[in-house]
Amino acid sequence: MNFPRKPVKKQPRVERTLTCVLDRRGVGGEAEYLIVQRPSTGLLAMMWEFPSLPLEERDFSESKQKEAVLAQVQSVLGGPGSLGALQHIGEVLHIFTHIHQTYVVYRCSLSDPTGVELREGEAPTTRWVTKAVFQQAAVSTAMKKVLKLYESKESHEEECRKSWKRKRDSGSKDRKRKPQKIKVEQETSTGKKQLSLHNFFQRPMKQAIDNGLGGLRAKLSRRGLSEVGFLIVNEKEPQARAMYWELKRRAPKGVPVYQQDPLQQDVWETLGGEKDDFLIYDRCGKLTFHIPLPYSFLHRPYIEAAVLATYHKDICGNCSMASVCWWFFFSKVIELLDTVFFLLRKKNNQITFLHVYHHATMIFNWWAGVKYVAGGQSFFIGMLNSFVHIVMYLYYGLAALGPRMQRYLWWKRYLTILQLLQFFGIAAHTSYNLFTDCAFPDGFNLVVFLYIVSLILLFSSFYHQTYISRKTKQT
């Protein structure tokens, strides 16, 4: 049969762009950002953006990227200016209808704005704007994401500066206090051990490492959540990779550190997040919460509340489906006892090819279904099959009561008809999903469809031989 086919989707174009967020302090001390107007033709025509230029080579080194960004900024400013250090702060992925655009974001500050004249006329229009003006200007969503990344980096660094200042002030106060004598670990008259010099320094360090999770694990443990796993994802830049072993050494006990390979696609880009974000996944591996800066600090109440919500609620809605599918798979294992009973009763004539094929393949098919695609699509098949088996085993139960029940079992042939109707229903359901936009893999759909077709052929042959050919011979 010539079924309609899905139209082949054109693969989106992948592009990378260098972008620089250049800031300065305005007249009132408020931060201002330099934006440039795009040309009057092409994508996002006449819209405003941070100074940007296309990144042609994917293997550009960071030093060459900085040189290109610096040249672009100086070209816009009309001269070198008093630019601060150029810093890479991350990447932003923005998906247009036909383009996957990745913005490689740098930031830089203009320390002395005097003497800087922006290029006007034939060159793209440029201007300095505050955040409020920027939000109201004709800027793309991608540029708003870039500004959000910049602000999250600023917020994170400000939080780190405050934390460092608190520790510095606390340390200076401690130094003013009278130093205490540290005793070497030894047995005392009370039988208790005193703290040794080694343990004196080791325990505060261990405490600091445990506090790296902000006491989150302790809070969750007090609430009975002991099966929550954590993973640290390190960046793929050379500086981050150089600090991998130090990060692994300082990571809390039981928390693995994943190091990205330089040649692989960036994990955070794939996940649609940034390196300081906190992502929470449920038991099914589905994302339930994506908490960005400045809310991703582990001592914040948002983190604990999100973990609790994910742990206690079936957010994805698929975990219960997976559990039901597993129990249905287990019922197929129990049904193998049919063959055992046939052998014990020496009913070898009932162990036909149809019987062996049906039971053996169902075990394998549902093992694969539960392992890889447990969910709504598989649930429908299991639900339909369970209903048919309820009726079928009701018949077997009544037949086991003896000859006195035979006159009530005139509907045996309709069991086979019911099974065939079940197979036709599953075939229609599966074939429909082959030509619609469904998350269920087409490969599994095709396998199920072909398997159901084989069962339709075998059960139709059984029905014809048992109820039509035999009746014709008797007449």
pLDDT tier at 79 (50, 70, 90 boundaries)?
confident
Specify the range with the lowest mean pLDDT, choosing from 145-154, 250-259, 265-274, 380-389: 265-274
* Residues classed as catalytic: 358
Q: Does residue 466 register a pLDDT over 60?
A: yes
> Is residue 5 included in any domain, yes or no?
no
Residues 468 and 431 in one domain: yes
Domain termination site, one of 151, 173, 197: 151
168 domain-assigned: no
- Let me know whether 346 and 407 are in one domain: yes
- What span, in angstroms and rounded, lies between the C-alpha atoms of 237 and 143? 23
Question: Are both 218 and 131 inside the same structural domain?
Answer: no
Confidence label for 454 from pLDDT (cuts 50, 70 and 90):
very high
Average pLDDT over all residues of the chain: 76
Domain assignment present for residue 161? The answer is no
Q: Are residues 462 and 341 in the same domain?
A: yes
Instruction: Write out pLDDT tens, residues 274-322.
Output: 777 888 877 666 777 787 777 667 666 767 777 777 776 655 455 567 7
pLDDT digits (tens, 9 = 90+) for 385-408: 999 999 988 998 888 888 888 888
Task: Tell me the CA distances in angstroms from 36 to 75, 76, 92, one per residue in order.
Answer: 12, 8, 19
Residues 228 and 298 in one domain: yes
Residue 429 in any domain: the answer is: yes
Residue range of the domain that includes 53: 13-151
Both 336 and 296 in one domain: the answer is: no
Rounded to 10°, the helix 376-399/353-372 angle is 150
Higher-confidence residue of 7 and 458: namely 458
Q: Are 241 and 346 members of one domain?
A: no
The answer to whether residue 35 is domain-embedded is yes
Please give the pLDDT value at position 420: 93
Looking at residue 108, its pLDDT comes to: 86
Statement: residue 440 has pLDDT above 50 = yes
Q: How many CA atoms lie within 13 A of 184 on its CB side?
A: 0
Q: Which of 103, 136, 151 is the last residue of a domain?
A: 151
Residue where one domain finishes, among candidates 312, 334, 353 = 312
Model pLDDT for residues 209-237, shown as the tens digit of each residue: 444 465 776 777 776 776 677 878 877 77
Q: How many independent structural domains does the chain possess?
A: 3
Whether residues 300 and 407 share a domain: the answer is: no
CA–CA dist 428, 301 (Å, integer): 49
Kindly state the average pLDDT of the residues 99-126. Answer: 69
The CATH number of residue 18's host domain is 3.90.79.10
Looking at the domain assignment, is residue 171 inside a domain?
A: no
